[in-house]
Amino acid sequence: MPVNPADSPILGTLYGSDAMRAIFGETAYFQRMLDVEAALARVQGRMGIIPQSSADAIVAAARIENLRTEDLAASARTVGYPVVGLVAGLSRAAGEAGAWTHWGATTQDIMDTATVLQVRDGLDLIEAALRSILAALVVQADKHRNTVMAGRTHLQQALPVTFGLKCAVWAMPFIAHLDRLKQLRPRVQQVEFAGAAGTLASLGDQGIGVMAGLAAELNLNVPLAPWHVCRDGLAETVGFLGLVSGTLAKIATDIILLAQTEVGEVSEPYIAGRGASSTMPQKRNPIASEYILAASRMVHGLVPVMLGAMAQDHERATGPWQAEALVLPQAFVLTHGALLHTQAIAEGMVVDAARMRANLGITHGLIVSEAVMMGLAPVLGRGEAHHVVKHACDVALNERIPLADALQRDPAVPARLDRTAIERLIDPAHYLGSTQAFIDRVIAAAGS
């Protein structure tokens, strides 16, 4: 019975994905270990290290259906590792050929390489989701490049931006994440085959040849030396998932803030009953964003565990290695679940451009006071322009009147600018700086 909600058949629909759970599930893990044993037999059969007929029998027997769960559990409970029971089951299924199973390997060779195969498949799902979200955000950035809204700093209206620029800023880290992933894969997608203490002594002068053959068989990279106790690749992978989760959390935070009743500028895609309250019929809670934040916080909590597990003693760790198994599956499942929630938001978000424009008017022009100051500076001088606009802002705030009206009261302003010119300065759409260029740059980079 699942204890972690991310593995639950009910709550798991909120916290992860069936696709990622299928990759990191226990059955899949044991099959991956069998895949490694089968690949090892194929390589050693070709090299003449074990009889070819025995290799063929081992390969044929390397199916999860040939293992008994109760035997594996009993062995793991006694031994402390699952590979002894797995090798026993595989050897039994292979018959006489089973005597050649696991030749020259050690437990961690099989478990680490199986984990790497899972990680590779998991990263494929992560990459696909990253690309889908990037594509959706690029579409939104282009679609809303002229949708003017309030830019906010310290949760206060600051200067006008466009929603297209906000989407472009959301999209930009995904370009970097895809680049990071491309760089990461060669470092983590490496075969592990080193024998009992990292020397492959049991295979004589054929050890490196077997290692290279096993890597080729599994389409993995060949390390320079054993990485039994060098865990930077796996730690980097979880750190990468932490970075991705942080990006998703930023988007979710913005969506939650923009969806507040008092703001009402953007909301999650509407599906009947989605985010409903059990007592308040009017509620449409930003439920996807909430689960993105929950998942990201958990992934961020797992990153230090993985970093701590890098401190592995001598040639085989006593504890840190075992901690990794508690981290990797959770980190992948939670990150992928958060990615799918984000993808749904990116593709189907509801944007209220009219509300954005209305909220721009809340300050009656104060949001573009910088624009007015810069417009008056050439005729009044920068210092005097700042003084005039600051005074006008104070009047507008105290008397709750539009900034244009407050400016008209200062004799220095109407003497140099008529009302039409002032209104143009106060129009947020005329003070967007390099917004369009920034959007274009992100869209171009996303397509490269």
Taking only the tens place, the pLDDT of each residue in 105-121 is: 999 999 999 999 999 99
Buried b (16+ CB within 10 A) or exposed e, 250-261: bbbebbbebbee
**What CATH number does domain 364-434 carry, 3.40.50.300, 1.10.40.30, 3.40.50.2020, 1.10.3720.10?**
1.10.40.30
Number of helical H runs and strand E runs in the chain = 18, 4
DSSP 275: T
- pLDDT value of residue 319: 86
pLDDT above 90 coverage of the chain, percent: 71
- pLDDT value of residue 277: 45
Distances (CA, A) of 34 to 45, 74, 103, 114: 16, 18, 13, 8
Determine the average pLDDT of the residues in 28-38. Answer: 96
- Catalytic residue chosen out of the listed positions 154, 177, 267, 391: 154
- pLDDT value of residue 61: 96
Report the alpha-carbon distance of residue 3 to residue 1 in Å, rounded. 7
- Catalytic residue chosen out of the listed positions 53, 202, 277, 434: 277
Give per-residue pLDDT as tens, 226-240.
Answer: 999 999 999 999 999
Q: Indicate the pLDDT class of residue 276, thresholds 50, 70 and 90.
A: very low
Determine the average pLDDT of the residues in 169-190. Answer: 98
- pLDDT value of residue 283: 47
Closest by CA to 265, choosing from 238, 241, 295, 286, is 286
CATH for the stretch 5-357: 1.20.200.10
Q: Delimit the domains of the chain by residue range.
A: 5-357, 364-434
Buried b (16+ CB within 10 A) or exposed e, 308-321: ebeebeeeebeebb
Give per-residue pLDDT as tens, 38-68.
Answer: 999 999 999 999 999 999 999 999 999 999 9
* Mean pLDDT of the chain, nearest integer: 91
Q: At what angle do helices 232-258 and 287-308 cross, to 10 degrees?
A: 160
- pLDDT value of residue 427: 84
Determine the average pLDDT of the residues in 119-126. Answer: 98
- pLDDT value of residue 278: 44
Q: Tokens 């009889």, residue?
A: 51
Is 277 annotated as catalytic?
yes
Is 296 annotated as catalytic?
no
Residue 24, classed as helix, strand or coil, is helix
**Assigned token pair, 286:** 């930003």
Report the alpha-carbon distance of residue 359 to residue 352 in Å, rounded. 11
Look at residue 37 and tell me whether its pLDDT is greater than 80. Answer: yes
